[in-house]
Amino acid sequence: MQFVAGVFMIPFVSPPEPASWLLIGLSALFHYFYYPLLYYAYRFGDLSQVYPLARGLAPVLVAAGAAVFAGEILPPLSLFGIMLASLGIASIAFFHETSLKRNPKALVFAAGTGMIIAAYTVADGLGVRLSGSPLGYIAWLFILEFPVVFFAVCRRRNQLMIFWRRERMSFIGTGLCAVVAYGIVIYAVAYAPMAAISALRETGVIMAALIGTFVLGERSWKQRVMAAVLVAAGVAVITEFS
C-alpha cells in the first residue's frame, strides 16, 4: 500500500533536495532488514511479547542516535519521559510466561527489530530535514518499498489473491491507516525532536493492549492498565518539557 500511495503522490509533490537522497536510500535499506527481522521475531516468539519489546526499545535508541548524528540533546526531564514511556511499552512483553525465556532467539530478533526501527527513524529524521519537501521525501521513500512488494508477489502470489478476495476492505483500510500513520511520523520528525516523536508513536502498542483487554477480554488487565499509566505519564512529561 505504501508503494501505491507513493506512486499517486509523485505528480503532486515537489522532489526532495539531492542532499536527502542518500538518507532516503538508507532508510529504505533499513526497512528491507526490518521485515525479515520482524518475521523471525514472530516465528520464535509471541506477538504480544516480541512487538512491545521491539517498539519499547526503539525510542531510547532513537534518543541516542539523534544525539550522536543530529546533535539533538533533549532536556533531562524530556529524556526521563521517553524512558518512562519506553518502559511502559516494553513491560507488556513480561506480563506472563514469556516466549522470550523459552527461546532466546526471540529476544535477539526482537532487540534487532528495535534497533532497526531506531535506525530508520533517525535516517528519516535527518533525511526529511534535508529534503526541503517532506511530502516529496515521503513519496519517494514509499516508492522504494517496491522490492518488498515484488518479493511478496513472487513468493506468496496465491495466498495474496486469496486474502484479497476474502478481506479486500480490511486490506485497504489497514493499508491506508499504515500509510497515513507512517507519513505523519515522518512529517513530524521534520519539525520536532526525533526521540519524542518516536516515543509518542509507539504509544499505539498500549492502545492495542487496552483494546485487547476491554474489547476482546484478554487477561492481565491490571498489568496492562499499569503499563498504560506509565506511558501516559511519560507522554505528559515529554509534552511538557520537549
Does residue 100 surpass a pLDDT of 60? no
Q: Percent of the chain at pLDDT above 90?
A: 36
Q: CB neighbours (10 Å) of residue 8?
A: 11
Which of 62-66, 204-208, 222-226 reaches the highest mean pLDDT?
A: 62-66
Grid cell for residue 62 = 532513537
Grid cell of 234 as nine digits? 511519560
**pLDDT of residue 226 exceeding 60:** yes
Confidence of residue 212 (pLDDT cuts 50, 70, 90): low
The Cβ-side half-sphere exposure at 144, using a 13 Å CA radius, reads: 18
The pLDDT of residue 101 is 61
The Cβ of residue 41 has, within 10 Å, a number of other Cβ atoms equal to 27
Q: Is the predicted pLDDT of residue 67 greater than 90, yes or no?
A: yes
The answer, yes or no, to whether residue 95 has pLDDT greater than 70, is no
Instruction: Please tell me which of 55-69, 77-91, 126-140 the model is most confident about, judged by mean pLDDT.
Output: 126-140
- Assess contact for 117 and 58: CB atoms under 8 A: yes
- What's the residue count for the chain? 242
Q: Which three cell numbers stand for residue 17?
A: 533536495
Domain regions of the chain by residue span? 2-241
Residues 196, 236 contacting (CB under 8 angstroms): no
The confidence score (pLDDT) of residue 94 equals: 72
pLDDT single digits (tens) 151-209: 777 767 777 677 667 776 776 777 788 888 899 999 999 998 998 898 888 777 777 66
Per-residue pLDDT band at 46 (split at 50, 70, 90): confident
Measured between alpha carbons, how far is 212 from 194 in angstroms, rounded to an integer? 29
- Residue 99 clears pLDDT 60, i.e. is over it: no
pTM > 0.95: yes or no = no
H or E segment at 226? helix 221-241
